[in-house]
Amino acid sequence: MRTLAGFLAALLLGSAAPQDAQPSRPNILILLADDLGYADVGFHGCKDIPTPNLDAIAAGGVRCSNGYVSGPYCSPTRAGLLTGRYQQRFGHEFNPAGGGQGLPLSETTLADRLKAAGYATGLVGKWHLGSQAPFHPQKRGFDEFFGFLGGARTYLPGKPGLLRGTEAVEEKEYLTDAFAREAVSFIDRRKEKPFLLYLAFNAVHTPMDATDERLKRFEAIENKQRRTYAAMLSAMDDAVGKVMEKIRSAGLEEKTLVFFFSDNGGPTMQGTTINGSRNDPLRGSKRQTLEGGIRVPFVASWKGRLPAGKVFGLPVIQLDLHATALAAAGVEAKPEWKLDGVNLLPYLEGRQEGAPHDALYWRFGAQMAIRKGGWKLVKVESGPAALHKVDEDMGESADLSVPGADKVKELQSLWDAWNAQLAKPLWGGGRSNP
């Protein structure tokens, strides 16, 4: 028969067990650049625009050298990020143009799921997933919101269109600096329990607004557009530095999983919001399914958990951030959620070999692409699709397709099967709100 002392000891141990067994749940910090050129960060070899704070994240974590996004411009990429699903599955193929257009209410966001798991959730920056009340960030899982709802906005102080929650506010700082301030404030106020902070910069999207102080840093750049772009990118790097310094000073480095990527490649062709970016050595631009439109700077960092200075060379996609964040937070991804992204942690840590994805897919109106292994089949204009060996030719310079070739037929068949699962776009080509 159990003694009273033994019974009390067992009771105490039993009550402590769930707490002791509770895994340490990290904060999730997503840093998203807007229209950043592939060549325009130091960890990709950029020489004329220093990005020391972004480079530090890459040096302290894993750089994914084949990092992709599921759409070649702004809103679709964000829809894929927050849902963990190819946005074409639910009709969010193009940018919403206003009215009742926005991330379908049938979809559940990463913020919804982490909030349900006890996380504090905040969005600072650009939303671009619907401007009407049902689509507001605070209706889509975010406790807090500071930013703007549309696709583009001036960076200059004193202009309308900025919200704190649902209330209009007048900002007195340069917008990228204001976003840094708000992100630091969120971390300071919410650091006592796990949080999701989605810091969605509008830098370096047009309009080309920069501060005089930062323009002076780049007087040596003769081209005015490139000089302004450099100043805007430098402001974003400064903002990232302030946020990461707050993470360090709060003792949260080993408790925070950080992601950085761009929503698409730099806009370098006519018909896009050209900003002075560069995608070298990639071919193509924002709005294209060529590498220059969909392959982006892509980094994951978690001090003490992910290796520092590692390069992961197999293809990954921003859809994976959703599943990875859930796994880190101890949230089981259910089959009925139908996530397309996968948990990258075992791959980045080196615990699991092989590729996270058998293939990656794109559809953007009449444009298409599929990447399987080192091969990519891509079509951006009328005519037949081109075949490239992108693991050897990342600039897609050599078309290796031959009509009827087995590799072309294989990739086209896979893409056709994926395409058959997709929804029709809920709205048109999305030329407004670029």
Pair 142, 122: CB distance under 8 Å: yes
Q: How confident is the model at residue 13 (pLDDT cuts 50, 70, 90)?
A: very low
Question: Closest by alpha carbon to 294, among 386, 392, 203, 368?
Answer: 368
Please determine, looking at this structure, whether the domain spanning 360-419 carries the CATH number 3.30.1120.10. yes
Confidence category of residue 357, pLDDT binned at 50, 70, 90 = very high
- For residue 4, pLDDT over 90 is answered with no
**Domain 25-349 annotated CATH 3.40.50.880:** no
Provide the whole-model pTM. 0.93
Name 249's Cβ contacts closer than 8 Å, sequence gap at least 6.
none
One of 74, 205, 357, 388 is an active-site residue; which one? 74
Q: What is the pLDDT of residues 58-97, one digit of tens each?
A: 999 999 999 999 999 999 999 999 999 999 999 999 999 8
- DSSP H helical ranges for 107-264: 110-116, 175-190, 212-217, 224-249
Residues of the chain with CATH 3.30.1120.10: 360-419
Model confidence pLDDT, tens digit, residues 302-337: 999 999 999 999 999 999 999 999 999 999 999 999
The reported pLDDT for the residue numbered 228 is 98
Place of tokens 């009407």: 132
Annotated active-site residue in 44, 92, 128, 136: 128
Query: Tens digits of per-residue pLDDT, 381-420?
Result: 888 999 999 999 999 999 999 877 899 999 999 999 999 9
Is the model's pLDDT at 185 over the cut of 90? yes
Residue 373 has what pLDDT? 97
For residues 413 and 253, what is the distance between their CA atoms, to the nearest angstrom?
45
What's the pLDDT score for residue 382? 82
191-229 residue pLDDT tens: 999 999 999 999 999 999 999 999 999 999 999 999 999
pLDDT of amino acid 18: 36
More confident residue, 85 or 12: 85
Whether 12 has a pLDDT exceeding 80, the answer reads no
* pLDDT of 434 over the 80 cut: no
Confidence bin at 232 (pLDDT 50/70/90): very high
Which pLDDT score is estimated for 24? 85
pLDDT of 19 over the 50 cut? no
Active site residue 128: yes
pLDDT tens, residue by residue, 151-170: 999 999 999 999 999 999 99
Q: Given a cut of 70, is residue 2 above it in pLDDT? A: no
Instruction: Spell out a b/e string for 240-255, using b for 16 or more CB atoms within 10 Å of the CB, else e.
Output: bbbbbebbeebebbeb
For the chain, give every residue range classified as CATH 3.40.720.10: 25-349
Judge contact between 275 and 229, C-beta under 8 A: yes
Residues 6+ apart with CB under 8 A from 12: none
Active site residue 92: no
The mean predicted confidence, pLDDT, of the chain is 93
Closest CA to 259 of 313, 328, 202, 192: 328
